[in-house]
Each structure stands twice: as structure tokens, then as C-alpha cells.
Amino acid sequence: MKRFLLVLVCMALCIPPLVSLSLLQTERGTIGMGSAGVALSSSPSSFFYNPALLYTGIREEGFFTLSGSYHDSIRPANFRDTVQNPLMQNPFTHLSVSFSGKNVALTLQNQVSLNDRKELSGLTQYRGLTHTLLQLDWATGRSFFAFGLNVKALAVSERNPIDIRNDSILTDFIVQTSLGKFDPLESEAFISVGIGLLLDYDWFKMGIASDNFAFAQGSDPLQVSADKIYKTLDWGFSFSTPTYDSNNLLHLFKAQGALDLVDLGSEDTRELRTGFALKLQLLPTWSVSLKSGYREKKKLPSDLLKFDFTQGTHTLGLSAQLGAFTLDIACEIPIYWYRGITDDDSVVQGVLALSFSL
């Protein structure tokens, strides 16, 4: 087992990233729940949303977690119009390794995105971006209250163009993104300090978090901005039914729900996220979960209590935990699709994620 762990660590640290979009700071298992997770403790990597979720009152032991995922947009018009390379719209891959104890965690993430798709004769051309993130999380607490802190250091590099030939899509995808040279973008690099709070009443939790309590981009000095804190302020709630009954026997079913208000001060990224999961618990570490959720952008703060389904997205997910391994499949579908309204730019987001935890 020790030799197996060593191989996994070497893979995570040495294999270059494959593909991605902009930096994705979410726990993949909650994408099917509308990406709601500010107060949801559902996996060893839940603290990505809120560092306070790392508190020892929630996590009684340490974890080693290795995870990878592939994200892409599916554009039906590509198949209707027989476009070349129809599946790779904006591919995104992620590789992460995390070492976490009772109240501290160290995470290294590699992400690469292919953007600005152009169709040329015999090939598809993209602009490639690589994001490498080093993150340190710490949390402490007392009774039902927890406080968390994280420090992130991000490096960004670019390769433009990246050519994917139609007759060797998979080979070019791996070679171009793994072995090709990416040039650093020093102005895009940043360091940030985030904070999180959590109230935990077992079946009900409330969390507050901000990714940019302090930040510095490029060569700028570290600064604290009340405006930046407000723009990245997240507020979330969650509930869950007990895992075990009064006789310490495993319940057959476990339900979880979450509601998040994300980036409360930002007109561009303010969003409502909510989701629900029903887990069939076969054994303590063997389960299958069905997930559904909803997310909607909110231009004005007053819109947070309103629903405009023409702007919303429905999420669906299926998760299976088989001992130390977890497989997640999720998709995001625009609500207007259910009303029969589509156009050539309509897309469905798809995610496939695999993680291993000890």
C-alpha cells in the first residue's frame, strides 16, 4: 500500500496538466447540486468552498486525496452542421493532490483550458492556458463554531496557438497540452488570503466565506479591500439527515440539501445556487447518490429572492463511492431547453471526475 501511495503522489506531482478553463475552485462532487457548497460537508475536499469546513469537529482524521476531472461544453449545432471535431468545444481538465490533517490541508492543483476555438482546414486551433495553484488551508473552532483561513498562490502560463488535427485528436490533445511549452503570464499571477466561518448544528449548517480578504496580483503589493471582500462574499446554508440511527446502524437513505448566495457584491458573477442529493448507503464507504440542482445569475441584489428561469441552469449528477474511490458524473442544462428554445450557441456543460482518498 505504501508503494501504491508513492506512485500516486509521483503521478500527481510530475504529470503535467491536460486541459481546462479559467481557475475552477469547486468541489467536483457538488456540481450536480448546482455547485452549492459553502456550508456543505460532503467529501474530504469540501473545504475548497469554505476553509472552516476543515475544522477538526467535522474531520476526525487525516486524508490523502488525488482527483482528476474533465469538463467540456457540448454544442448540438456542431453535430447538426457536421462540424469537425464536434466534441472539443472548450475542453478543461483538472488534476489535484491534497494532504489534509485534522485542521490543516496542503493542496496542489494543475488546470489547463483550451479557449477561443477556431476551425481551420484539417484541424481545430485553440488558445491554451495553464493554471497552477498551491493552496494552504487552516481551521480552528469551538463547539458549534469554526473559523478557517486559506492562502493561495496562482501561476498562469499560455500557449497560443494549440493545433488539434482531425485525424489524431487524442494524441495531439495529450502531446500539445502535456509536452508543449507554455509561456508564463506574470501579470496574471496572484496571491490571495481567504477566510471562512461556519456554524454547525449537526443537521443544519450555515457558512460565510470570502476568497479575497487580502490579495496581490502581478507585482502589486498585498492589499486589503472592503470592496473586494464584499464582491467575493459567499453565504450558504445546508441540511442533512443523520447517517446512523440511535442504535448506530447505517440508514439506508441519507438526504442533503444546500442553498448558496455567491459573490454577493458583484454585478457580474452574483449567483444563486441550490441543490439536493439523495444517497443510497450500502456500506459506510459504499454508496450511490442522485443529485439535482439549480443556479441562476443575479444582476441586482434585489433579484436574489426572484427566479427568472430564462436565465437559470438545471444541474444533474450521479455519484458512486466505492471504498476509497469516488466517481462523479454531472451536467448543466439551460432551463430554456425544456421550453423548446434553442439556438446555434446553446451548449450543455458536462463533467466527469474521479477521486481517490485515504
pLDDT digits (tens, 9 = 90+) for 322-331: 998 999 999 9
Assign 264 to helix, strand or coil: coil
pLDDT at 17 over 60: no
Is residue 69 classed exposed, middle or buried when 0-12, 13-18 and 19+ CB atoms within 10 A define those classes? buried
Does 18 have pLDDT greater than 60? no
Report the distance separating Cα 95 and Cα 11, nearest Å. 10
Q: Which three cell numbers stand for residue 101?
A: 490533517
Q: In the prediction, which pLDDT does 306 show?
A: 85
Could you tell me the pLDDT band of residue 20, with boundaries at 50, 70 and 90? very low
Burial of 166 (0-12, 13-18, 19+ CB in 10 A): middle
pLDDT computed for residue 238 by the predictor = 95
pLDDT at 157 exceeding the cut of 60: yes
User: In the prediction, which pLDDT does 143 show?
Assistant: 85
CA distance 333 to 130: 27
Beta strands, E only, 143-189: 145-165, 183-184
Closest CA to 27 of 55, 47, 5, 7: 47
Confidence of residue 13 (pLDDT cuts 50, 70, 90): very low
**254 Cβ neighbours under 8 A, 6+ residues apart:** 240, 241, 242, 243, 278, 279, 281
Tell me which DSSP letter residue 76 carries. Answer: H
Average pLDDT score over the chain: 85
Q: What is the mean pLDDT of residues 230-257?
A: 94
Q: Where are the alpha helices (DSSP H) in 101-254?
A: 169-178, 226-231
Check residue 258 and give its pLDDT.
Answer: 96
Which band of pLDDT confidence, cut at 50, 70 and 90, is reported for residue 305? confident
The pLDDT value recorded for residue 25 is 52
Residues 89 and 117: beta-carbon distance below 8 Å = yes
Give the model's pLDDT for residue 128: 92
Q: Which residues, at least 6 apart from 81, have a Cβ–Cβ distance to it below 8 Å?
A: none
Q: For residue range 62-119, what is the model confidence (pLDDT) as tens digits?
A: 678 899 998 988 888 777 777 888 888 888 888 999 998 888 999 999 998 999 989 8
pLDDT at 266: 92
- Measured in residues, the chain has a length of 358
- What is the rounded average pLDDT of the residues 348-355? 83
Q: What is the mean pLDDT of residues 288-317?
A: 91
Residue 57, Cα to own-chain centre: how many angstroms? Answer: 24
Question: What number of H helices and E strands is found in the chain?
Answer: 4, 15
pLDDT band at 344, cuts 50/70/90?
Answer: low
Strand segments (E) across 25-103: 63-74, 92-100
Compute the half-sphere exposure of residue 267: CA atoms within 13 Å on the CB side of its CA: 1
What is the residue type of 224?
V
What is the pLDDT at residue 52? Answer: 92
* 342 or 266, which is more confident: 266
Contact predicate 289/280, CB 8 Å: yes
The per-residue pLDDT for range 69-82, each reduced to its tens digit, is 989 888 887 777 77
Residue 56, pLDDT above cutoff 80 = no
Overall average pLDDT of the 208-212 stretch: 92
Rounded-to-integer distance, Cα 29 and Cα 170, Å: 26
Model confidence at 59, pLDDT cuts 50, 70, 90, reads low
For 306, the 3-state DSSP assignment is coil
Give the pLDDT score at 212.
87
Closest by CA position to 107, among listed 94, 98, 116, 115: 98
| Largest Cα–Cα separation, the chain | 67
Evaluate if residue 3 carries a pLDDT over 60.
no
Give per-residue pLDDT as tens, 32-54: 999 999 999 877 778 888 999 98
- pLDDT band at residue 252 under the 50/70/90 scheme: very high
H helical segments located in the chain? 2-14, 76-80, 169-178, 226-231
Cα separation, 18 vs 172, in Å, equals 11
Burial class (CB in 10 A: 0-12, 13-18, 19+), 39: buried
Q: How far apart are CA 248 and CA 334, in angstroms?
A: 42
Q: Before 161, cis peptide (omega within 30)? A: yes
